[in-house]
Amino acid sequence: MFSPTSLAVPVLFGSVAIGASAAILAWRARPNPGAKPLVWLLVGQSWWSTCIVFSLSAGTAAEATFWTKVGWVGVMTVPVAWILFSLEYTGRDEYLTRRNVALLAVVPALTVLLALTESYHGLLYVREVGVTAQGSVLVEQGGIWYVVTAGYTYLLAVLGIVPILGLLSSGATAFRGQSAALIVGVATPWATNVLYNLGAFPNVGIDPTPIAFAISGVAYLGAIDRFRMFGANPAPAWRAKQFLFDHIHEGVVVVDGHDTIVEMNRAAAETLDIDMSRALGAQGTDVLPLNEPFRADGGRELLTVGTGSTSRSYDVAVSELTDRHDETLGYVVTLHDVTRYLQQQQRLKVLNRVLRHNIRTETNIIQGYAERTSGETAETITNRTARIVEISEKGRDAIDLFEDTVNDREGTSLVGLLERSLDAARDAYPEVEFVLERPAADAAVSEGLSVVVNNLIENAAIHNDGEERRVTVTAAVDDEQARIRVIDNGPGIDDYELDVLNSGTETPLRHASGLGLWLVKWGTEVIDGSVTFESNDPTGTVVTTTVPVRRSGLSHHNT
């Protein structure tokens, strides 16, 4: 009953076989994103090919035109399924509402209806134009609606390709492979169809689009099997970006280059106590009461919302958005809640005042009374109050350390810092020999390092009761970091002290003997450095502190 007319017919059989196989594999991949629309797409294109085969094998003109008309069901399934697949596969399924799908199906449904009823109107005609030498009936299609539906089909094809194109630049090989295979799969038949409609295949006798489905079927099979289309799916990536934007704790406001708010997340709307729909389209400077216009120079501004005890403070950071030519597209303004940080800072300031002023005043009074008397008791009182003053100063150092480091943007000279520390130590501990081995080149380091070095030198000097007490400080600098070593010949640091320090926490029963080593640890952590303790040979300790070098600070010079 069937007489092949050309090479096209075996290829049509191939396209049905491949399309049906790929459809079965896609069916089994449900409920992966895109699986169901892909089944419809493959069924649609297979049905199209099937109808062409039946049309070519038809014994009569009526039969041939019947199959051509019925083939329109497949023809119009393909573009709708393609756009649905593209959106679902790339994670944009929020657009796939029943209403949108119904709207997308209006033109295809009308087309099928017009094809089946073509004899009554001719808007989309399907008519016999001849018979081949092998006896196959040739059918021609056209009409105004044919042009409309072709345009609609091409539009959906292009719209569907756009999200897939974005995956071509994905970092994941699987996604690049999948998207390339999908684009080949969809572009080949559509390009064939465009060329056919432009009259590029005058002698084929049939619409060769289904023939190209053989290639697209292979491409889809490759995407499914070779590139694990339903094993590694990019859909969550798109949703994750939106999810992150919507659910991040920081408020985010996006303004365009004209200061118009174009996007805002829930946290920002709650922070600014504004209705999101009202804020979108409003002027950014009206909604964000900042002192200066938007600028993305790394500077930060503090925004306080509300009054009294219920007020909250936000650290406002502005990042510039640019296009590929580095032209400004807009700004992303982030609002980071720093209320708790500021409250803690306030408490530290009060504590600082108590340590700095009140304790010193009270100990001065005690010392004054002690000096009025004499003897061993008076001496003990004087020594102990001096110790209290010393501890309060260390506590104050700890507070200053965080504040100074936060405000210290430029950095200070490493050599100068070491010299100052050693000069002070020589004055305080004249019985100890201090040696400084300077680095080959100076570098800018955080001012916070001075607290670390001072405490290391003091610790090395105090806890050394030998006859020849010696503390050596060496420094070495490279492009990235400075390494300072404080070496003493004392008895060494107790392992118990180091264990407590390494554990990072103290308990009432397990604690270090003072604040000095804690200041060393906290100081290096605050300035992004590290510290290690080793035993010196034959006695003593080698403490090595490594800190980053500030690039924008000091210009290097030989010392």
Partner 1 sequence: MASKTNEPVSTDTTVPWHVDVPESVVDVGCRIRDVLTYSSTYLVFIAMIEVLTVHLVLSIPPNPAPIVVGLVTFAVYAGDRIADAADDEVSSPERSAFVTRHRTLLSVLTAVTYGLAIALALTGGPIALAITLLPGGFWILYASDWLPSLGSYFKRLKRILIVNSTIVASAWAIAVVGLPLAFAEASVTPLAAVVFVYFLVDTFVNTEIPNVRDVEADEAVGVSTLPVVFGVRRTRHILYGLDLALVAFVAVALSLGILPTAAAAAILVGLGYALVLAWFVGRSAAPGRLAIAGEAKHLVVFALLLVFTTGL
**Cα distance between residue 404 and residue 52, in whole Å:** 81
28 binds partner 1 (CB under 8 A): yes
User: With CB under 8 A as the contact rule, which of the stretches 20-28, 152-160, 191-199, 464-472 interacts with partner 1?
Assistant: 20-28
479: tokens are 């492009």
Closest contact distance (angstroms) between CB of 215 and partner 1 is: 15
433 CB burial (10 A radius; 0-12, 13-18, 19+): middle
Beta carbons of 303 and 289 less than 8 angstroms apart: yes
Task: Indicate the SS3 state at residue 251.
Answer: strand
21 binds partner 1 (CB under 8 A): yes
Sign (positive or negative) of CA dihedral 320, 322, 328, 331: negative
Q: Which is nearer to partner 1, 43 or 471 (CB)?
A: 43
Tokens 């320090």 sit on residue: 501
Closest contact distance (angstroms) between CB of 157 and partner 1 is: 24
Q: Among 8, 20, 168, 237, which residue sits at the site for partner 1 (rule: CB under 8 A)?
A: 20
Angle between helices 376-407 and 339-353 (to 10 degrees): 150
User: With CB under 8 A as the contact rule, which of the stretches 53-61, 266-274, 495-503, 544-552 interacts with partner 1?
Assistant: 53-61
Closest contact distance (angstroms) between CB of 36 and partner 1 is: 10
60 CB burial (10 A radius; 0-12, 13-18, 19+): exposed
533 binds partner 1 (CB under 8 A): no
**Cα distance between residue 431 and residue 486, in whole Å:** 18
Q: Which is nearer to partner 1, 146 or 213 (CB)?
A: 213
1 binds partner 1 (CB under 8 A): yes
User: With CB under 8 A as the contact rule, which of the stretches 18-26, 166-174, 291-299, 310-318 interacts with partner 1?
Assistant: 18-26
Closest contact distance (angstroms) between CB of 17 and partner 1 is: 4
Q: Among 50, 65, 216, 545, which residue sits at the site for partner 1 (rule: CB under 8 A)?
A: 50
Q: Among 45, 55, 57, 541, which residue sits at the site for partner 1 (rule: CB under 8 A)?
A: 57
> Which positions from 330 through 389 interact with partner 1, judged by CB under 8 A?
none
Closest contact distance (angstroms) between CB of 216 and partner 1 is: 14
17 binds partner 1 (CB under 8 A): yes
**Cα distance between residue 552 and residue 554, in whole Å:** 7
User: With CB under 8 A as the contact rule, which of the stretches 13-21, 111-119, 282-290, 425-433 interacts with partner 1?
Assistant: 13-21
User: With CB under 8 A as the contact rule, which of the stretches 51-59, 129-137, 172-180, 356-364 interacts with partner 1?
Assistant: 51-59
Q: Among 5, 6, 8, 14, which residue sits at the site for partner 1 (rule: CB under 8 A)?
A: 14
Sheet containing 261-264: which strands, arranged edge to edge?
Answer: 261-264, 251-256, 328-337, 312-322, 300-305
Beta carbons of 250 and 334 less than 8 angstroms apart: yes
Closest contact distance (angstroms) between CB of 72 and partner 1 is: 16
| CA-based end-to-end distance of the chain | 100
> Which positions from 150 through 189 interact with partner 1, judged by CB under 8 A?
none
Beta carbons of 251 and 265 less than 8 angstroms apart: yes
Q: Which is nearer to partner 1, 25 or 453 (CB)?
A: 25
246 binds partner 1 (CB under 8 A): no
Helix (H) or strand (E) holding 543: strand 541-548
407: tokens are 């405000």
**Cα distance between residue 61 and residue 137, in whole Å:** 6
What residues pair up with 483 in beta bridges, in sequence order? 476, 546
22 binds partner 1 (CB under 8 A): yes
Residue 524 neighbours by CB distance under 10 Å:
21
Closest contact distance (angstroms) between CB of 85 and partner 1 is: 18
CA distances from 285 to 321, 336, 399 (A): 17, 18, 37
Q: Which is nearer to partner 1, 72 or 522 (CB)?
A: 72
Closest contact distance (angstroms) between CB of 73 and partner 1 is: 14
Closest contact distance (angstroms) between CB of 16 and partner 1 is: 5
Closest contact distance (angstroms) between CB of 11 and partner 1 is: 11
Q: Among 151, 191, 225, 511, which residue sits at the site for partner 1 (rule: CB under 8 A)?
A: 225
Reference 539, options 485, 469, 476, 452; nearest CA is 469
2 binds partner 1 (CB under 8 A): yes
Reference 333, options 242, 275, 251; nearest CA is 251
46 binds partner 1 (CB under 8 A): yes
**Cα distance between residue 140 and residue 46, in whole Å:** 20
Q: Among 41, 53, 75, 83, which residue sits at the site for partner 1 (rule: CB under 8 A)?
A: 53
182: tokens are 């999908």
Q: Which is nearer to partner 1, 139 or 517 (CB)?
A: 139
**Cα distance between residue 493 and residue 464, in whole Å:** 10
Q: Which is nearer to partner 1, 57 or 90 (CB)?
A: 57
| Displacement of CA 353 from its chain's centroid (Å) | 42
User: With CB under 8 A as the contact rule, which of the stretches 46-54, 123-131, 187-195, 450-458 interacts with partner 1?
Assistant: 46-54
How are beta strands 433-437 and 470-477 bridged, if at all?
A: parallel
54 binds partner 1 (CB under 8 A): yes
Binding site for partner 1 (CB under 8 A): 1-2, 13-14, 16-22, 24-25, 28, 30, 46, 50, 53-54, 57, 225
